[in-house]
Amino acid sequence: MDLLAYWSLKERPFEATWDTRFFYQSRHHDEALNRLCFLVGEQSMNMGMLTGEVGCGKTLTRAVFAQRLDPLRFHVVTQENSGFSFKELLGSVLRLFDGQPLKPRESKLILYDRLRQAAERIRAENRHLVLIFDEAQEMTPASLNELKLLTNFNGEGQSILTIILLGQPELRELVAGLPAINQRISLRFHLTGLNQDEAASYFHHRLLIAGHPTGDLMTPEAAERAFQASHGVPRELNRIAKLALEFAWLKEYSQVNLPAVEAVIRDLERHQNLPVA
């Protein structure tokens, strides 16, 4: 009997994917979504910033946020990787608009004007342009500083786009050293890991989404130990749970219990892939 059949699952519950069905809306993730929705709903706040520790779910939160925006009111463009020059970022964003590659002889000014015209077309449709730059901590200070040029786009005195920066904690330090950008960020939020109760609910939620009839596959002791070892970071919770699910299957346990989780944690610590709790 394979793993899915053994655990009465329809799919694997702890894979490293951006599947928004598996999104667990903790208190912090709920607040992040509410702030982002408020930011773009106002359509006058220029820029926002969402930061978080590695593995805390920034990208999945971003995907859920974009999915929730009404396409009749918003046009969302997401730059997945932002470690490029400002000109390259402009070209990449424009390519996401129209599929046209960057022409070698197009100057930064031409690209800037093309993006302004695209934003104006979207505004003429009574929609608001939302530009999301993920992994923004990889931007050079020069590229990040030049983003202020885009906040000058306006129509009849109103901003016609909102920029959202997503990144790891060092993005906050980068922005703090650039007053022209720092002053334009009207809203910011920092994501942290889950607490112990949320971690248990997180396992339950993902197991239910994956098809388990009750979601009660991991014992409370196992969930608590996984939380302690992961510090509540969702990516680490997934890694521990995925391996513990397979270990318990091979051992033919009736649940994912504490011995299964302990075995996985010891192995990860031995190979120095997980901080010792």
Do 181 and 209 fall within a single domain? no
What was the pLDDT predicted at 157?
A: 59
Encode the chain (277 residues) as per-residue pLDDT tens digits. Answer: 899 999 999 999 999 888 999 999 999 999 999 999 999 999 989 899 999 999 999 999 999 999 999 999 999 999 999 999 999 999 999 988 877 766 777 888 999 999 999 999 999 999 999 999 999 999 999 999 999 889 888 766 578 999 999 999 999 999 999 999 999 999 999 999 999 999 999 999 999 999 999 999 999 999 999 999 999 999 999 999 999 999 999 999 999 999 999 999 999 988 765 555 5
Residue 20 lies in a domain: no
**pTM (two decimals):** 0.90
Residues 118 and 187 in one domain: yes
pLDDT computed for residue 273 by the predictor = 55
**Are both 54 and 65 inside the same structural domain?**
yes
Residue 16's pLDDT is: 87
Same structural domain, 169 and 35? yes
Do residues 7 and 139 both lie within one domain? no
Q: What is the rounded CA–CA span in Å between residue 126 and residue 164? A: 20
pLDDT of residue 100: 72
Number of domains in the chain: 2
**Residue 185: per-residue pLDDT:** 95
User: Is 33 found in the same domain as 86?
Assistant: yes
CA atoms within 13 A on the CB side of 16: 9
Last residue of a domain, one of 191, 208, 238: 191
19 belongs to a structural domain: no
Q: Is residue 276 part of a domain?
A: no
C-alpha span between 67 and 60 (Å, rounded): 11
Q: Is the residue at 103 inside a domain? A: yes
Q: What is the pLDDT of residue 103?
A: 73
pLDDT computed for residue 202 by the predictor = 98
Asked whether residue 22 is domain-assigned, the answer is no
**What is the predicted pLDDT for the residue at 25?**
92
Q: Which long-range contacts (CB under 8 A, 24 or more apart) does 87-90 make?
A: 87/111, 89/133, 89/143, 90/114, 90/115
Same domain, 134 and 226: no
Task: Domain of residue 229: give its range.
Answer: 3-14+194-270
Query: Which of 191, 207, 229 is the last residue before a domain boundary?
Result: 191
CA distances from 185 to 44, 135, 152, 164, 253 (A): 11, 17, 14, 9, 51
135 and 200 fall within a common domain: no
Task: Looking at the structure, tell me whether residues 128 and 184 fall in a common domain.
Answer: yes
The CATH number for 54's domain is: 3.40.50.300
Does residue 166 sit in the same domain as residue 225? no
Per-residue confidence (pLDDT) for residue 18, from 0 to 100:
85
Of 156, 191, 226, the position where a domain reaches its end is 191
pLDDT value of position 123: 92
pLDDT for the residue 99: 72
Instruction: Indicate whether 277 belongs to any domain.
Output: no
CATH number at residue 252: 1.10.8
166 inside domain: yes
